Amino acid sequence: MCQINWWLPMYPIVSENAMAFHPRYWSHPVRNGSAEYNYAEWNRTSRQNAAQFIKQDTRKQPKPEEPMELDPQIRVIAPPGGVLLFSAAQMHSSVPNNSGKTRFSIDFRTVHLDDVAERRGAPNTDSACTGTTMGDYLRGTDLTHLPEELIAMYETAPHASVAFRAGEK
């Protein structure tokens, strides 16, 4: 919940090839299949197969299990060289690209060590994934991984502050 996503368009974008943010779901849970998803297992068994799924991805991943209302939505049109920073916990999506132009962007994810240690971040309204991405993060100055004891804090079930468990109403 403390992950920050960074998204930088390399060329001009328009509303028809941007990202959309769905603020309704920042506080409203969505019934989903996240309880069946374990990031460590995904890395062991599915990540290496990504190139096989260009047109359609049939691998097991968390998905909504109920219809979603994507409007209202916010589409931020950042200029080339601009940057969008947002919480990974904020519902967002890539919009269907109807612009006739390929969208090129750079994206990466970061966490702040103090936020990880204090379990600070966006509210967890509906994620029940296990496993963690915390072992993937490297400090920019020396490429050191997060301390093992901090990674271990995130290996099992989501933080107890989850007000809504995936799959429940």
- Asked whether the whole model's pTM tops 0.85, one would answer no
Q: How far is CA 64 from CA 12, 68, 69, 137, 139, in A?
A: 31, 8, 11, 27, 33
User: Would you say residue 81 lies in a domain?
Assistant: yes
Residue 162 lies inside a defined structural domain of this protein: no
Residue 166 lies in a domain: no
* pLDDT reading at 155 higher than 90: no
pLDDT at 57 over 80: no
**Residue 158 belongs to some domain of the structure:** no
Q: Give the tens place of pLDDT for each residue, 83-126.
A: 999 999 999 998 999 999 999 999 999 999 999 999 999 999 99
Q: What rounded mean pLDDT belongs to the chain? A: 87
Residues 121-149: pLDDT tens digits?
999 999 998 889 999 999 999 999 999 99
Structural domain boundaries enclosing 79:
4-47+59-152
Residue 136 covered by a domain: yes
Asked whether residue 102 is assigned to any structural domain, the reply reads yes
Overall number of domains in the chain:
1
Q: How far apart are CA 121 and CA 109, in angstroms?
A: 14
